[in-house]
């Protein structure tokens, strides 16, 4: 029997991927690749066509086999799939470390970079080679003896620990539920939320209502539930996931895993000669030093803190005016914030949701990018193998009708699906021997699902999330770079990778853009101007507190990875507590174990890089300011952003791409203006 993972074809055959087929496929490809590397490095003299191009093809095939496995483990987890996924992690880690420490391969790249013909290479080719040389050094190619072995061990152990962290978080999230048949428990919840909880109960064959920790459910309860005890219960369940607090299984506690991850990262960095993992991490980012990052965050905190204090005090006073006695607690914040917003602006998510139904929102998003970049997006209805019946598949075509990219769209929250929202690469673009492989993306969200036969209705925040992830997808799919190592998001500095995604969020606030999709799901009526004006007026409601929240996460991350030694979970807690004492204006309950579920830095790619969201927001706000100045659908401005930023991918430094578009380096004023923070 042939292994479907090894069959030729661009798109994965998801329905044919069985757990028992995964490890044999990975082992076979790794074995073939090892033999190919030995053969390629023996050829002299090394060059693009006889070394780098065949290496790219070899790596591309392995990527196309592992990508659907990695994706399925995130969106359709099962015990068998998880075991198969975890069994391959050490194999892939070992192979990846072998490549990065292959001296013959490193010397071949050095020889190519030092050859007279190097100047004749394209900018993308030169960038790919220089990036590879950096990754060789960061991968330990110059290490000797025990240090070399230690680095290999650390890489393998880190991949396994990060997977365990994510698994524990998923299991602890799905283990909690609150079941009730009493309508009084749900007083205050909007009708859409009550219908969602009823549907969640029906899916388990239960009467009444089932409350879970999936984001649409959690946000509805913590924001609208009048019953304070229910808000407290779901808050405590959410912030104690994967910890030794709360009621979930203590075997899912991520405390020691966090300690081990940070310690091994630090050991890895020191093995390579860095003082800290934070310094190691910044080698591939725009920021040049830890001091620059902390000064940037400190400046934003200073500009935001007084306004945040006023916002917090205002909420407290308003709650008291409604009869609340005592000091607001963490499970009260969202509830009374929503009450205050409704009081001040006469607007809530309930008012807006009827105007954000799934199909018009998706089509509106497509119409916006069509105007900006002169592309056309259409759904392919047949012949596509997906992992869930709700997943759609789409193709992007240019003005000439040529296909230039494709993507899977998985919008809704469901069981056995990792929380959050993300874009991931399914297939990378490259052009070799006259043939172009189209880039394909996975776009994944956890938005409110349809209730029964009704259309799915999104909150405005959910619309923003969708636009954000689609911005990442455009960066991957609209690239015109033919060198896979620097095509799309590849090769982009991590603190610039959020530029296209955060840029897209701005269109969710523009009247001209909203008119393309914000229509009542029953009547088709456009979003009333009065409601739009109230929405815009509330845009920066409690924006200073939200700014400080992101700064808190960012400072915690960078300081944690500056530590010379981390030996206990209590030490991690102390670092977080110290950051909160400096920048936060909110009281955090002792039971809170936010760090145990901070997958961005412990299981994702944001370790010592979470600041990237704010760093890149400076770029994105300043970039969008050009559209505000020239017209949000100005075709020349759209084409300039496309050609300077999206098409160029990682083929040159991000600052060059930004200067190409804006004509200067970024300025922070646009971010402050967009955030409602005065200079």
CA–CA separation, 554 and 549 (whole Å): 9
Length of the chain: 679
Contact assessment for residue 21 and residue 3, using Cβ atoms and an 8 Å cutoff: yes
Beta bridge partners of 443: 409, 423
Sign (positive or negative) of CA dihedral 16, 22, 28, 31: positive
For 133-159, b where at least 16 C-beta lie within 10 A, e where not — what string?
bebbbbbbbebeeeebebbbbbbbbbb
Tokens of 494: 């991590």
**Residue in 450, 460, 384 with CA at minimum distance from that of residue 414:** 450
Element (H, E) at 176: none
Tokens of 418: 């990792």
CA–CA separation, 106 and 648 (whole Å): 26
Provide the CA 348 distance to its chain's centre, in angstroms.
26
Would you give the DSSP letter of residue 525?
P
Tokens of 244: 């030794």
Catalytic residue among 469, 498, 552, 647: 469
Q: Coil, helix or strand for 304?
A: helix
CA–CA separation, 588 and 611 (whole Å): 21
CA–CA separation, 171 and 109 (whole Å): 44
- What is the bridge-based pairing of β-strands 403-412 and 392-397? antiparallel
Task: State the maximum Cα–Cα separation within the chain, in Å, rounded to a whole number.
Answer: 81
469 is catalytic: yes
CA–CA separation, 269 and 254 (whole Å): 22
Tokens of 321: 């005016």
CA–CA separation, 403 and 422 (whole Å): 23
Active centre residues (catalytic): 469
């Amino acid at each position: 029997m042939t292994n479907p993972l090894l069959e030729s074809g661009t798109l994965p055959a998801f329905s044919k991927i069985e757990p028992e087929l995964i490890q044999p496929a990975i082992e076979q490809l790794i074995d073939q690749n090892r033999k190919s590397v030995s053969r390629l490095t023996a050829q002299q003299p090394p060059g693009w066509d006889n070394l780098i191009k065949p290496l790219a093809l070899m790596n591309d095939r392995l990527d196309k086999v592992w990508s659907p496995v990695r994706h399925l483990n995130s969106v359709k987890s099962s015990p068998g799939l998880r075991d198969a996924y975890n069994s391959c992690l050490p194999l892939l880690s070992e192979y990846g470390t072998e490549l990065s420490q292959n001296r013959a391969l490193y010397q071949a790249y050095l020889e190519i970079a030092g050859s007279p013909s190097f100047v004749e290479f394209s900018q993308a080719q030169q960038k790919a080679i220089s990036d590879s040389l950096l990754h060789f050094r960061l991968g330990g190619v110059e290490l000797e003896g025990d240090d070399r072995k230690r680095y290999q061990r650390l890489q393998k152990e880190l991949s396994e620990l990060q997977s365990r962290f994510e698994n524990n978080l998923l299991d602890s999230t799905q283990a909690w539920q609150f079941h009730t048949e009493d309508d009084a428990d749900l007083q205050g919840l909007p009708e859409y939320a009550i219908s969602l909880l009823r549907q969640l109960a029906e899916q388990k064959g239960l009467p009444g209502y089932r409350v879970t920790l999936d984001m649409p459910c959690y946000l509805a309860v913590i924001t609208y539930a009048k019953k304070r005890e229910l808000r407290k219960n779901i808050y405590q369940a959410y912030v104690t996931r994967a910890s030794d607090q709360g009621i979930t299984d203590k075997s899912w506690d991520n405390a020691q895993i966090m300690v081990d991850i940070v310690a091994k990262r630090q050991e890895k960095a020191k093995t390579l000669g860095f003082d800290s993992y934070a310094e190691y991490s910044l080698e591939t980012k725009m920021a040049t030093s830890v001091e620059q990052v902390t000064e940037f965050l400190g400046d934003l905190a200073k500009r935001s803190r007084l306004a945040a204090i006023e916002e917090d005090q205002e909420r407290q006073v308003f709650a008291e005016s409604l009869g609340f006695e005592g000091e607001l607690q963490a499970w009260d914040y969202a509830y009374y914030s929503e009450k205050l917003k409704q009081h001040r602006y006469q607007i809530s998510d309930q008012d807006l949701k009827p105007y954000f139904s799934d199909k018009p929102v998706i089509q509106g998003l497509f119409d916006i990018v069509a105007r900006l970049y002169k592309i056309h997006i259409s759904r392919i209805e047949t012949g596509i193998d997906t992992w869930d019946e709700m997943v759609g598949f789409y193709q992007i075509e240019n003005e000439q009708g040529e296909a230039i990219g494709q993507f899977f769209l998985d919008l809704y929250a469901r069981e056995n699906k990792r929380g959050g929202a993300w874009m991931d690469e399914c297939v990378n673009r490259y052009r070799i021997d006259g043939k172009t492989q189209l880039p394909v993306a996975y776009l994944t969200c956890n938005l409110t699902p349809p209730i029964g036969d009704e259309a799915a209705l999104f909150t405005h925040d959910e619309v923003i999330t969708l636009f954000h992830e689609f911005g990442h997808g455009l960066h991957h799919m609209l690239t015109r770079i033919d060198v896979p190592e620097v095509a799309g998001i590849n090769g982009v500095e991590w603190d610039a990778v959020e530029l296209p995604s955060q840029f897209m969020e701005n269109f969710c606030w523009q009247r001209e853009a909203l008119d393309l999709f914000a229509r009542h799901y029953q009547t088709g009526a456009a979003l009333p101007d009065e409601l739009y004006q109230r929405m815009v007026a509330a845009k920066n409601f409690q924006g200073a507190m939200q700014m400080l929240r992101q700064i808190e996460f960012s400072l915690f991350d960078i300081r944690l990875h500056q530590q010379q030694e981390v030996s206990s979970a209590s030490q991690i807690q102390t670092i977080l507590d110290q950051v909160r004492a400096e920048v936060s204006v909110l009281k955090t309950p002792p039971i809170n174990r936010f760090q145990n579920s901070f997958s961005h830095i412990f299981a994702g790619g944001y370790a010592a890089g979470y600041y990237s969201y704010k760093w890149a927001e400076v770029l994105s706000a300043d970039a969008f300011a050009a559209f505000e100045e020239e017209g949000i659908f100005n075709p020349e401005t759209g084409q300039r952003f496309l050609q300077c930023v999206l098409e160029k991918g990682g083929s040159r430094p991000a600052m060059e791409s930004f200067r190409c578009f804006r004509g200067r380096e970024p300025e922070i004023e646009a971010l402050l203006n967009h955030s409602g923070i005065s200079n």
